[in-house]
């Protein structure tokens, strides 16, 4: 009997961070709030079996790292910010892939939100 591969995902939704992001002069001087949604592949079965954080991805550690990284960054494009977040998380945490949604609410008049969604895999 063949079993399906695990397809577990751990996510963080609407993680808000203030940062410098944008191409206009005023955007280079004022911190703006970006919202970040993150999905990461993780096998949660071991953690669920033992009810122990050691068997899974510590999403609090991921959140703290992303907040620190984004808060210290100064990119012009949300595309660049998303790429650099993905690179950082993939390098520092034991996950095979990450999907990120980086949103910049209020960036476009008459639009609720604007941003980018990327998925990246560990090399």
| 58-70 pLDDT tens trace | 999 999 999 999 9
What does the pLDDT read at residue 1?
A: 55
Average pLDDT, the chain: 93
**122 has catalytic annotation:** no
Q: What is the band of 2 on the pLDDT scale with cuts at 50, 70, 90? A: low
pLDDT bucket at 52, cuts 50 / 70 / 90: confident
The verdict on domain 9-121 having CATH code 3.30.1130.10 is yes
Check if the beta carbon of residue 94 is closer than 8 Å to that of residue 75: no
| Global pTM exceeds 0.85 | yes
- Which pLDDT score, from 0 to 100, does residue 123 have? 85
Buried b (16+ CB within 10 A) or exposed e, 2-28: eeeeeeeebebeebebebbbbeeeeee
Which entry of 46, 64, 84, 104 is annotated as an active-site residue?
104
């Amino acid at each position: 009997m063949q079993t399906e591969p695990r397809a577990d995902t751990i996510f963080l939704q609407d993680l808000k961070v203030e940062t410098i992001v944008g191409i206009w002069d005023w955007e280079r001087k004022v911190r703006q709030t970006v919202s970040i949604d993150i999905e990461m592949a993780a096998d949660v079965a071991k953690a669920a079996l033992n009810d122990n954080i050691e068997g899974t991805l510590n999403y609090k550690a991921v959140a703290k790292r992303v907040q620190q990284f984004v808060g210290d960054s100064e990119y012009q494009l949300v595309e660049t910010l998303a790429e650099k977040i993905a690179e950082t998380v993939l390098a520092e945490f034991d996950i095979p892939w990450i999907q990120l949604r980086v949103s910049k609410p209020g960036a476009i008049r008459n639009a609720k939100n604007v941003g980018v969604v990327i998925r990246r895999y560990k090399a």
